[in-house]
Structure 1
Amino acid sequence: MSLSLPGSLVTTEWLAAHIDRPELVILDGSFKLPGVTPIAADDFAARHIPKARFFDIDKIADHETSLPHMLPSPESFEQYAADLGISSDSTVVVYDTPGLMSAGRVWWTLRTFGHDKVAVLDGGLRKWLAEGRPVTDKIASFARGVFQAHFNPGAVRSKAQVLENIASQAEQVIDARSAARFTATEKEARPGLRSGHIPGSLNLPFNALTNPQTGELLDTASIAKAFEQAGLNLSEPVIASCGSGVTAAALAFGLHLAGKDDVAIYDGAWTEWGRPGDTPVETGDGK
């Protein structure tokens, strides 16, 4: 009998109980901003959940663009997924180190390429370690997978589409960056970018969805309330954005837990929008 996920969020207890199942693929999707050391791949090499494989967000990307970790082509993703031992019938659990910073990006990427048997580990490596569960520095061996990608273009928005949306306001835009970056009271870390936000967008920092002590997700009612307090109408479609398309997926994951799936991600995010050019920028709180 194949392994079924209890939902899109799994507990450390569930993972520990099923960790030896052969059809289970565990992915460490940890990510750090450029210049932060040690890099996430080095952290993984030093310690990770047994059986885990490292999902390198920068490597598994479109390398034909100057923008960071943009979605690859379906053909490229098929190869990446297979190289990680993921097959179309695999059950996948994704985690990151703090709880929900980049795991949502891996979850969203797999779903965007048609793989729905994927869940996020609640609390991530942080909770796993806090509970004294085992970690290893041994790299697991695994057979190559057989993966077929089915790309969902509706999950992604381009700069042109976001520009059109400013006029049409057909979709709400919500930004996962910190309030200081959103309002332009703090400069962007990436050089050359303007400060501020997409006109008309809302702001909900991605870490507002988790317990700051444990890294675990808030309950679904609290998640929904956080979005509503940020000004989001949960009955209308959403575009999530952030600095470079990673933490936007944390918002998409939170909305998914709250029962909302008409959510797309602006993949270029502020790294594209904030470049000098013709994209309009607002500062302040936008209210």
Structure 2
Amino acid sequence: MRYTTLISAQELAARLSDPDWAVIDCRHDLASPDAGLLAYEAAHLPGARFAHLDRALSDKRPAPDGGFRGRHPLPAREAFIDTLRDWGVGDDTQVVAYDAQGGMFAARLWWMLRWVGHEAVAVLDGGLPAWQALGLPLSTELPRPPRGAIGLHPSLVETVDARQVLDNIARPTRVILDARAPDRFRGENETLDPVGGHIPGAKNRFFKDNLQADGRFKPAEQLRAELSALAPEGGAVIAQCGSGVTACHNLLAMEVAGMPGAALYPGSWSEWCADPARPVATGA
């Protein structure tokens, strides 16, 4: 059985020692970029490798053309494959990503594996808190897995760039779904990007609205009802956020809800607002 969206702590615990499984710790703090690594070194799921958002799941080097690609631009697909091999991932590996923030960062890794054509990847539902709530063990041992042999395969997902988003504003065919908090969407309390507001015509779906009070995802039927109210055409969606990270949480929620096919705008608001020629909207 392959897990392609979510996996429970109980299910993961039963397979944790399987050599064909790889668990990746994605904990991060945007305000303190080394906090996730420090937390990982203090204690993590047994056998888990660590994925740093800024170093493994992004490429912050200047773009070849000198342009700005947002705060968390994607690495080259080939470079990400090399990282996966360092983590011991092969074509037949079941990957499980987790964090302690309701999947806020783990969903980015989930999406990126699909981006390089690997379908057997799931997010630990409820993350580290769900694991600890069951009294399951943690470890301080740093694993050294043998190098994996995953190959680069056709992508299972779609990305769009700023030009395509601009075209969609002029001729709307897809719903633009913004995963940021409502105040940032309205253009209030912006602390991460130099301009407040949102892409004209976008709808707001705060990624935390995908979760229940215990940090686990809402049932598929509930997600489908809520997301369908925003995107009646199902997967005809462009997902974005501040920098292409929490938008992946909405993409995961759509997959759980049985609404596949949405695209990611990786540069998201941070790239969009960097060009004063691009239109900006504020308010609800």
State the TM-score bracket (shorter-chain normalisation). over 0.9
Determine the structure 2 residue equivalent to 1:208.
209
Structure 1 range deviating more: 247-256 or 148-157 = 148-157
What is the SS of the residue equivalent to 2:96? strand
What is the SS of the residue equivalent to 1:108? helix
How big is the shift at 1:68?
2.9
The 5 A counterparts of 1:202-281 are 202-212=203-213, 214-229=214-229, 231-235=230-234, 237-281=236-280
Q: Indicate conservation of the 8 Å contact 2:97/2:122, yes or no.
A: yes
How big is the shift at 1:37?
6.4
1:90, 1:236 → 2: CA distance? 27
User: Please, which of 120, 125, 140 is the counterpart of residue 123 of structure 2?
Assistant: 120
Matched to 1:205, the amino acid is F
2:123, 2:163 → 1: CA distance? 31
1:87, 1:48 → 2: CA distance? 22
Determine the structure 1 residue equivalent to 2:11.
14
Q: Indicate conservation of the 8 Å contact 2:237/2:263, yes or no.
A: yes
What is the SS of the residue equivalent to 1:196? coil
Determine the structure 2 residue equivalent to 1:160.
163
Determine the structure 2 residue equivalent to 1:198.
199
Q: Indicate conservation of the 8 Å contact 2:174/2:237, yes or no.
A: yes
Q: Indicate conservation of the 8 Å contact 1:77/1:149, yes or no.
A: no
Q: Indicate conservation of the 8 Å contact 1:194/1:276, yes or no.
A: no
2:142, 2:158 → 1: CA distance? 33
Determine the structure 1 residue equivalent to 2:150.
147
Instruction: Provide Cα deviations, 1:50-107, integer angstroms capped at 9, x if missing partner.
Output: 1111112211233343533322222212211111111111111111112221111100
1:234, 1:96 → 2: CA distance? 31
2:92, 2:235 → 1: CA distance? 33
What is the SS of the residue equivalent to 2:228? helix
Instruction: Provide Cα deviations, 1:161-208, integer angstroms capped at 9, x if missing partner.
Output: 111111111111000000000011222x225x2101000000010000
2:111, 2:139 → 1: CA distance? 27
What is the SS of the residue equivalent to 1:80? helix
Q: Indicate conservation of the 8 Å contact 2:94/2:121, yes or no.
A: yes
1:217, 1:54 → 2: CA distance? 23
Q: Does 1:95 align with 2:92?
A: no
User: Please, which of 21, 42, 46 is the counterpart of residue 42 of structure 2?
Assistant: 46
1:36, 1:234 → 2: CA distance? 39
What is the SS of the residue equivalent to 1:279? coil
Structure 1 range deviating more: 58-67 or 21-30 = 58-67
How big is the shift at 1:282?
0.4
Q: Indicate conservation of the 8 Å contact 1:8/1:119, yes or no.
A: yes
How big is the shift at 1:276?
4.7
User: Please, which of 6, 24, 47 is the counterpart of residue 21 of structure 2?
Assistant: 24
Q: Indicate conservation of the 8 Å contact 1:155/1:263, yes or no.
A: yes
Name structure 1 gaps, 5 residues minimum: none
Q: Indicate conservation of the 8 Å contact 1:202/1:232, yes or no.
A: no
Q: Which runs of 4+ in 1 moved over 4 A?
A: none
Matched to 1:226, the amino acid is E
1:253, 1:30 → 2: CA distance? 17
Name structure 2 gaps, 5 residues minimum: none
How big is the shift at 1:218?
0.4
How big is the shift at 1:6?
4.7
2:151, 2:102 → 1: CA distance? 29
Aligned length: 277
Q: Indicate conservation of the 8 Å contact 1:239/1:266, yes or no.
A: yes
What is the SS of the residue equivalent to 2:221? helix
Q: Indicate conservation of the 8 Å contact 2:3/2:94, yes or no.
A: no
**What is the RMSD of the two structures over their aligned residues, measured on CA atoms?**
1.7
Determine the structure 2 residue equivalent to 1:175.
178
